[in-house]
């Protein structure tokens, strides 16, 4: 597996986690979107033992860098694995991305925003950067916490200042003060990672976390993280009428996050929609770029079904 190494001299990288091929089309289009917007930083895929051979082959065929996710402790499976980047101390800066994201505009500036150095050991006020979680629960899912309501959402505080919302996030303590784990800007630090592992060891603490990684980070580092504007982790639900459409602007969004089901590739694979049509208009953006990727790959003789 020839690309199973960190990039030579690549001290700043994007990372994304993959455990199976269900999200592989999303990941490949994410990588394509990063390259299309001209990012000068590579994507490194963190894979687990469960990631199959055909997935490895697909990454290698496209020259996508990858490395084994060493967090094989059972506590780190699923969402906890998103905390791995804090431990990758051979890098100076990691921006962790969920693989159900699509980059629409260059956001390399995330590699430069000031964060606490590793020497601060997680005790400063700029431990990591992320956008806020939206706690509106627009689908009224019954298992969500009862305090996840629009009145407690950080983004609700920006409804009267939509211009500011394009360039500045609400304060880290706005609303419930919970970061969304889909995009995290991290200066890897063994000391911070040790704090996270210590918290994970406390069952009394973690049993109360409704949303794994983001609940943990919001708890340990409450108010001590940098809140990015929504444009870097633009949850597709924010665009929905009556959620946060009052601050959403299509031309401002740099990175859209396709949370919840169906994913755009699910609709695409099931033949439910044609290009330009979707249950969610933002899905059309993914379908369009994915079609472009597939056409380009086919021209180069690559057609593996992903």
CA 48/CA 51 separation, integer angstroms: 6
Q: What is the pLDDT of residue 80?
A: 64
Average pLDDT over residues 161-174: 98
Q: What is the pLDDT of residue 274?
A: 55
CATH number of 12-299: 3.90.550.10
- 12-18 vs 93-97, strand pairing mode: parallel
Task: Please state the domain extents for the chain.
Answer: 12-299
What is the number of other CB atoms lying within 10 angstroms of the CB of residue 26?
Answer: 23
For the chain, the helix, strand and coil percentages under 3-state DSSP, each to the nearest 5: 35, 15, 50
Q: What is the pLDDT of residue 144?
A: 92
pLDDT at 227 over 90: yes
Token pair recorded at residue 191: 């000391």
Q: What is the pLDDT of residue 2?
A: 45
pLDDT tens figures, 243-286: 999 999 999 999 999 999 889 998 876 655 555 555 688 999 99
Q: What is the pLDDT of residue 201?
A: 78
Average pLDDT over residues 126-131: 98
Which residues make beta-bridge pairs with 235? 257
pTM assigned to the model: 0.93
- What is the pLDDT confidence band of residue 1, given thresholds at 50, 70 and 90? very low
Please report the sign of the dihedral spanned by the C-alpha atoms of residue 202, residue 208, residue 214, residue 218.
negative
* For helices 283-299 and 24-36, angle between their N-to-C axes, nearest 10 degrees: 80
pLDDT tens figures, 30-79: 999 999 999 999 999 999 889 999 999 999 999 999 998 866 555 555 55
Q: What is the pLDDT of residue 270?
A: 62
- What is the pLDDT confidence band of residue 10, given thresholds at 50, 70 and 90? low
Mean residue pLDDT of the chain comes to: 90
pLDDT tens figures, 236-252: 999 999 999 999 999 99
DSSP string, 180-249: -TTEEEE---HHHHHHHHHHHT-HHHHTT-TTHHHHHHHHHTTT-SEEE-GGGSEEGGGGSTTTTTTT--
Radius of gyration for the chain, computed over Cα atoms and rounded to the nearest angstrom: 19
* Residue 79 or residue 230, greater confidence: 230
Phi, psi of 80 (to 5 degrees): -60, -25
């Amino acid at each position: 597996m020839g690309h199973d190494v960190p990039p030579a001299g690549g001290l700043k990288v994007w990372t994304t986690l993959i455990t199976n091929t269900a999200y592989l089309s999303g990941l490949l289009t994410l990588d394509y979107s990063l390259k299309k917007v001209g990012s000068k930083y590579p994507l490194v895929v963190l894979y687990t033992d469960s990631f199959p051979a055909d997935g490895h082959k697909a990454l290698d065929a496209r020259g996508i860098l990858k490395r084994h996710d060493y967090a094989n402790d059972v506590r780190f499976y699923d969402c906890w694995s998103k905390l791995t980047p804090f431990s990758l101390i051979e890098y100076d800066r990691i921006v962790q991305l969920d693989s159900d994201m699509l980059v629409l505009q260059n956001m390399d500036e995330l590699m430069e925003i000031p964060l606490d150095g590793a020497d601060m050991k997680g005790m400063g006020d700029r431990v990591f950067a992320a956008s806020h979680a939206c706690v509106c629960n627009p689908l009224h899912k019954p298992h969500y916490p009862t305090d996840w309501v629009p009145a407690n959402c950080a983004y609700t505080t920006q409804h009267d200042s939509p211009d500011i919302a394009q360039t500045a996030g609400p304060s880290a303590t706005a609303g419930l003060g919970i970061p969304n784990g889909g995009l995290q800007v991290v200066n890897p630090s063994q000391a911070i990672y040790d704090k996270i592992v210590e918290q994970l060891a406390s069952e009394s603490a973690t049993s109360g976390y409704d949303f794994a990684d983001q609940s943990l980070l919001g708890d340990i580092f409450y108010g001590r993280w940098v809140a990015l504007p929504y444009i870097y982790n633009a949850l597709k639900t924010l665009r929905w009428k009556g959620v946060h459409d009052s601050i959403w602007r299509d031309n401002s969004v740099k990175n859209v996050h396709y949370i919840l089901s169906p994913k755009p590739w699910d609709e695409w694979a099931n033949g439910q929609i044609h290009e330009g049509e979707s249950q969610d208009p933002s899905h059309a953006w993914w379908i369009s770029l994915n079609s472009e990727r597939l056409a380009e790959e086919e021209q180069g003789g690559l057609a593996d079904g992903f």
